Protein backbone atom coordinates (compact mmCIF):
# COMPACT_ATOMS: atom_id res chain seq x y z
CA UNK A 1 0.00 0.00 0.00
CA UNK A 2 1.31 3.43 -0.90
CA UNK A 3 2.07 5.91 1.87
CA UNK A 4 -0.62 8.46 2.53
CA UNK A 5 -0.06 12.07 1.57
CA UNK A 6 -0.20 13.06 5.24
CA UNK A 7 2.84 10.88 5.90
CA UNK A 8 4.99 13.05 3.65
CA UNK A 9 7.17 15.75 5.12
CA UNK A 10 6.09 19.31 4.25
CA UNK A 11 2.46 18.51 3.35
CA UNK A 12 -0.37 19.44 5.64
CA UNK A 13 -3.92 18.14 5.73
CA UNK A 14 -5.35 20.92 3.54
CA UNK A 15 -2.82 20.33 0.77
CA UNK A 16 -3.34 16.57 1.04
CA UNK A 17 -7.11 17.02 0.65
CA UNK A 18 -6.62 19.35 -2.31
CA UNK A 19 -4.27 16.90 -3.97
CA UNK A 20 -6.93 14.23 -3.70
CA UNK A 21 -9.42 16.60 -5.34
CA UNK A 22 -7.12 16.83 -8.37
CA UNK A 23 -6.62 13.08 -8.59
CA UNK A 24 -3.41 12.60 -6.62
CA UNK A 25 -4.35 10.16 -3.88
CA UNK A 26 -1.10 8.97 -2.31
CA UNK A 27 2.64 9.51 -2.11
CA UNK A 28 3.37 7.18 -5.02
CA UNK A 29 1.05 9.11 -7.32
CA UNK A 30 2.56 12.42 -6.22
CA UNK A 31 6.05 11.15 -7.02
CA UNK A 32 4.88 9.88 -10.42
CA UNK A 33 3.17 13.17 -11.28
CA UNK A 34 5.97 15.35 -9.93
CA UNK A 35 5.92 18.65 -8.11
CA UNK A 36 5.49 20.85 -11.19
CA UNK A 37 2.47 19.03 -12.63
CA UNK A 38 0.89 18.66 -9.19
CA UNK A 39 1.35 22.40 -8.61
CA UNK A 40 -0.26 23.21 -11.97
CA UNK A 41 -3.22 20.94 -11.20
CA UNK A 42 -3.69 22.62 -7.83
CA UNK A 43 -3.30 26.11 -9.29
CA UNK A 44 -5.86 25.36 -12.03
CA UNK A 45 -8.40 24.03 -9.53
CA UNK A 46 -7.84 26.37 -6.57
CA UNK A 47 -6.41 29.51 -8.18
CA UNK A 48 -5.01 32.18 -5.91
CA UNK A 49 -5.29 29.89 -2.90
CA UNK A 50 -2.24 28.01 -4.16
CA UNK A 51 0.97 29.91 -3.49
CA UNK A 52 4.63 29.38 -4.28
CA UNK A 53 4.97 27.74 -0.88
CA UNK A 54 2.78 24.94 -2.22
CA UNK A 55 5.25 24.38 -5.05
CA UNK A 56 8.14 24.28 -2.61
CA UNK A 57 6.20 22.00 -0.25
CA UNK A 58 5.37 19.56 -3.04
CA UNK A 59 8.99 19.36 -4.11
CA UNK A 60 10.13 18.94 -0.52
CA UNK A 61 7.52 16.24 0.12
CA UNK A 62 8.70 14.25 -2.89
CA UNK A 63 12.32 14.55 -1.73
CA UNK A 64 11.39 13.94 1.94
CA UNK A 65 12.91 17.16 3.28
CA UNK A 66 11.44 20.19 5.04
CA UNK A 67 10.36 22.88 2.57
CA UNK A 68 12.40 25.52 4.41
CA UNK A 69 15.60 23.66 3.51
CA UNK A 70 15.12 24.43 -0.19
CA UNK A 71 17.74 27.02 -1.12
CA UNK A 72 17.25 30.06 -3.36
CA UNK A 73 18.80 28.38 -6.40
CA UNK A 74 16.48 25.36 -6.13
CA UNK A 75 13.47 27.65 -5.65
CA UNK A 76 14.42 29.62 -8.74
CA UNK A 77 14.73 26.39 -10.73
CA UNK A 78 11.30 25.24 -9.56
CA UNK A 79 9.73 28.59 -10.50
CA UNK A 80 11.38 28.46 -13.91
CA UNK A 81 10.22 24.88 -14.56
CA UNK A 82 6.71 25.84 -13.46
CA UNK A 83 6.74 28.79 -15.86
CA UNK A 84 6.46 31.35 -13.08
CA UNK A 85 9.59 33.37 -13.87
Helix or strand holding residue 18 (H, E):
helix 13-21
Q: What per-residue string of b and e applies to 43-79 under the rule 16 or more CB within 10 Å gives b?
A: beeeeeebeeebbbbbbbbbbeeebeebeeeeeeebe
Please give the domain boundaries of the chain with CATH numbers for all domains.
5-81 (1.10.150.20)
pLDDT in tens, 26-72: 999 999 999 999 999 999 999 999 999 999 999 999 998 988 899 99
Top pLDDT among 56 and 9 is at 56
pLDDT in tens, 69-84: 999 999 999 999 999 9
Q: How far is CA 10 from CA 6, 53, 55, in A?
A: 9, 10, 11
Q: Please tell me the pTM assigned to this model.
A: 0.92
Amino acid sequence: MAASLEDLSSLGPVTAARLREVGINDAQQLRAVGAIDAYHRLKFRFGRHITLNALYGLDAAIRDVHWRTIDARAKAKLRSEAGID
